[in-house]
Structure 1
């Protein structure tokens, strides 16, 4: 028996026989570490750029909105293929899993190239559409220019990382993301302060680190550390396969795309109140995502468990995995939110010690922390639907928080309550999306085979 076959059988037994709680923790730890390092980079980047001024700090929020578009494309093909791959591996179908992985990688690389070319052609228009004020625009334009060079590597990295994660090999993905995150933090310090490149240094650091991460993730497949294989001969132009990847990944595209849209809208609406309001909401968003990242990492650790065991027909383990992931996520979120609510001003001041920024961010941060414990329910329910191939339900769930509820709430509250309404919007969206998700969960659990 070949070493590849032995490794494949061992991986199958691990995913379908290891006690569920222990398995989710095992798969979550590398994912959580990767997300924490990535978010620490985002926070450090915000803090470093914040030393260049309020307009530069606001530009970070603008750039993150654009990077969310790049991430959306990577997640479309990564989550779409990953969900299919985990179910195929659960059914012992490695050949089709390799076709799916290779096709998704090719599609993500091509989409990144398209974003890069289109971005350079329409750069000035993009900066305006993203919500830049005249004072923020020069900083945002400089930063985005560097990001565009790395766009093909960024989309491909998101796809490769998701394929590794859905295989149950999150540790390999962690190596690539961890290296890139640490390199990014060091690069920020070197280019911004050491070489005095300003915001261009932050952009250059991002481009270099993303390219390095891509190289490491790709090497895992080249060195045959995975069950699936990446090869030109495995690329399929079958409309059925491409359609399946896109349809399964659509919830991720909606989630990331709507997240980008909400960032743009938030920047635009906040811009009425000046650069300090944009900077404040950008900083609060980074803090909240950092707090939420552990619960998100646990949910992503649950997805391969859910997909593998659903494909293997072990539905009891799917149920057990859902409740275990929800419990872990809730405990961490509640503890973290209590801590943040104790020192909101001090935390915001770490990123931009500006009285106007702190005043605008304080209430938004506290309100979002109060509502955040409701979010793991909607997030893990959506992941359950996506990982088990419930595409329509997953698409609906993914559009709730950042689309169906956030956009009209932002427009209404900002119109009638001004800045106070902007501060309240995200908290309202958290609660409404979780209430709706509960009904979807009840419906699904009743229909999941015993």
Structure 2
């Protein structure tokens, strides 16, 4: 399934997108199944309160590890355009700087997390009885976060090289490791949440080891000692684009804080558990749409760097169409099978009664999110950091957070759930306006000037 970086600029767009998207989607599927099964095991074998504890901890660890994702995506954009323009030396320097930035920043944040764990957990919503199990889960997971950050960074670089199959494997391995160790540590050794955390941390390490193997034996990038020196211009370029992804995760973490506190205030501990299930389903159900978005980035970035603007526009159009069809099918499944899906996670009747309708509300606007995701991804792939940042923050930052703060005062807990589709619609409209203007004015090789 792998392609060389040069083929990103020559192969048929539809075939290329599918070739890139299938392994990307499978990788995300395994990663989301990993999180999903983890939640099911914890809910069934430890208790519904444990789901709430995990929902509090994961936004903290993902915020820290997202440094690696951010540097991987931002640097991947720079690297894709360098490969597209034939500058292999710059690509090598970019990758070396990504490694140093990721390791240094992740380590600093992990140390801060160890020293200020109680404060972090309370800020992120470890209220009442949630605090004790959250602490049990937090420490082992935190120690594995630097390995997760490096593997997430490496995964995006692998994708930027046009080798999505290897990126897929780097996501499959930790999923399998985590599921197996979950069964051993939680079910057979009865280690509870500590066992779940230990399994998660070991799985992060397994992902890092595979990524390390790839960059020793399979990469087009040939790093030498002189590449490992910070280049101010390249660091600035990586940082400006990485800031987009990290800001998105930062806003997602702020949203998690607000959601956990709001849900606890208006619905109690079980409502935090409800969102824990919904957040897992968001990643799991939308895996093919996210796979297309990931596949879109290197294709658009390479062709933008090569000034093949007609191919960039075709990639945008095809990606939106494919993602929209998949998102619509996903919504139909959620609409009709919400209750059976929820029942898999827990036997807590209060959670089972509340979650299905909440799940349907959250997924209501799924059919139109393709425009929002691909539009924001385009500006990142093209290296247009300010617009990418603006569009990336639109849903959670400009719309969803204010709506979550306001609507529950009028509609109670329902206000939290209806905030999601309203934010999706508003952010999609904003993204569509920006994207259509960009395609009509700046991708000047195109001829039809249409969004879809």
TM-score band w.r.t. shorter chain: over 0.9
Task: Quote the residue 1:200 is aligned against.
Answer: 194
Task: Quote the residue 2:428 is aligned against.
Answer: 434
Task: Quote the residue 1:126 is aligned against.
Answer: 120
1:286-314 per-residue CA deviation (whole Å, 9 max, x = no partner) reads: 11221112101111101110011111111
Task: Quote the residue 2:221 is aligned against.
Answer: 228
Local SS of the residue matching 1:66: helix
Where do residues 354-373 of structure 1 align in structure 2 (5 Å cutoff)? Answer: 354-373=348-367
User: Does residue 1:217 correspond to 2:211, yes or no?
Assistant: yes
Judge conservation of contact 1:81–1:104 (CA < 8 Å) in 2: yes
1:389-443 per-residue CA deviation (whole Å, 9 max, x = no partner) reads: 1111100001011111111111011222210101211121111110110111111
Task: Quote the residue 1:422 is aligned against.
Answer: 416
Task: Quote the residue 1:3 is aligned against.
Answer: none
Root mean square deviation, CA, Å? 1.4
TM-score of the superposed pair, with normalisation by structure 1: 0.96
Q: 1:332 Cα shift?
A: 1.0
Judge conservation of contact 2:160–2:298 (CA < 8 Å) in 1: yes
Distance 1:376 1:64 in 2: 26
User: Does residue 1:247 correspond to 2:218, yes or no?
Assistant: no
User: Does residue 1:39 correspond to 2:32, yes or no?
Assistant: yes
* Count of residue pairs the alignment pairs up: 441
Judge conservation of contact 1:304–1:387 (CA < 8 Å) in 2: yes
Q: 1:231 Cα shift?
A: 4.3
Distance 2:25 2:224 in 1: 30
The farther-off stretch of 188-197 and 228-237 is 228-237
Task: Quote the residue 2:448 is aligned against.
Answer: none
Distance 2:219 2:112 in 1: 34
Local SS of the residue matching 2:286: helix
1:256 to 238, 243, 249: 249
TM-score of the superposed pair, with normalisation by structure 2: 0.95
1:66-114 per-residue CA deviation (whole Å, 9 max, x = no partner) reads: 1320232112211110000000000000100010011011111111111
Task: Quote the residue 1:20 is aligned against.
Answer: 13
2:102 to 108, 119, 123: 108
Q: 1:160 to 1:12 in 2, by over 3 A?
A: closer
Task: Give unmatched runs, 5+ long, in structure 2.
Answer: 446-452
Q: 1:57 Cα shift?
A: 1.4
Task: Quote the residue 2:450 is aligned against.
Answer: none
Distance 1:438 1:65 in 2: 29
Task: Quote the residue 1:136 is aligned against.
Answer: 130
Local SS of the residue matching 1:448: coil
Distance 2:223 2:287 in 1: 29
Distance 2:223 2:198 in 1: 29
Distance 1:233 1:192 in 2: 46
Local SS of the residue matching 1:435: helix
1:449 to 426, 444, 447: 444
Distance 1:251 1:229 in 2: 28
Task: Quote the residue 2:307 is aligned against.
Answer: 313
Judge conservation of contact 1:44–1:185 (CA < 8 Å) in 2: yes
Distance 2:177 2:55 in 1: 21
Q: 1:230 Cα shift?
A: 3.9
Distance 1:121 1:26 in 2: 45
Task: Give unmatched runs, 5+ long, in structure 1.
Answer: 1-7
Task: Quote the residue 1:270 is aligned against.
Answer: 263
